[in-house]
């Protein structure tokens, strides 16, 4: 289960392309496409380098009008979905 102190990053086996306000990701290993809306696209851009989930949440809170509890819940659900689809890597143990 992904937590706020989990370190997350995109996996290298995909290609992303902007299509108007959205982003389309092709997972090259499976040939499956995924579409991201503007908020999910922003999360994806924050994952360009490994980041803690809490850091991503804090950035979203600065940029969007959303309460912390809702943002945290929605972000964790979205990251779990990306992990299930093997679009991100997750390190569950905190770094020393």
Diameter over CA atoms, the chain? 40
User: Which residue segments constitute the domains of the chain, with CATH numbers given?
Assistant: 11-85 (1.10.10)
**Beta bridge pairs of residue 35:** 24
pLDDT at 3: 92
* Angular region, 31: left φ>0, alpha ψ -120 to 50, beta rest: left
pLDDT at 76: 97
Residue 77, token pair as written in the block: 């659900």
Averaged pLDDT in 10-residue chunks for the chain of 96 residues:
92 87 89 91 93 96 95 96 91 58
pLDDT at 92: 60
pLDDT at 1: 86
pLDDT at 14: 87
């Amino acid at each position: 289960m992904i937590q706020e102190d989990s370190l997350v990053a995109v996996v290298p086996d995909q290609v992303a392309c902007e299509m108007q306000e959205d982003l389309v990701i092709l997972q090259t290993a499976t040939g499956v496409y995924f579409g991201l809306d503007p908020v999910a696209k922003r999360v994806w851009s924050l994952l360009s380098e490994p980041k803690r989930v809490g850091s991503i949440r804090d950035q979203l809170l600065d940029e969007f009008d959303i309460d912390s509890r809702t943002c945290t819940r929605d972000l964790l659900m979205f990251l779990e979905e990306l992990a299930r689809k093997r679009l991100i890597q997750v390190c569950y143990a905190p770094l020393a």
